[in-house]
Amino acid sequence: MHTYQVIIERDAETGLYVGWVPGWPGAHSQGETVEELEQNLREVIAMLLEDGEPKTEAEFIGLRTIEVA
């Protein structure tokens, strides 16, 4: 079992949910619902894992909220 952090946003123009694994090129997808997006991401990640463990370009650390005056 593999576990990955995923970033999810909703596209303002299309209304689609878009998600990706930070630092892993090609590990991205979209869906009309969050559930559909998650399933699509599982399929993409499984396909990418067929080539072995990914060589990520960056490590996901977390999200922060900052204030700007």
The domain spanning residue 47 has which CATH number? 3.30.160
pLDDT at 19 over 90: yes
Give residue 46's pLDDT: 96
Q: Above 90 in pLDDT, residue 55?
A: no
Extract the tokens encoding 39. Answer: 């399933």
**Considering just the CA atoms, what is the radius of gyration of the chain in Å?**
14
pTM of this structure: 0.85
**Does position 1 have pLDDT exceeding 90, yes or no?**
no
Buried b (16+ CB within 10 A) or exposed e, 21-45: beebeebbbbbeeeeebbebbeebb
State the total domains in the chain.
1
Distance, in Å, from the CA atom of 19 to the CA atom of 43, rounded to the nearest integer, reads: 13
* Domain span at 67: 1-69
Is the pLDDT at 31 greater than 90, yes or no? yes
Question: Residue 7 pLDDT more than 90?
Answer: yes
Over range 44-58, report the average pLDDT.
Answer: 91
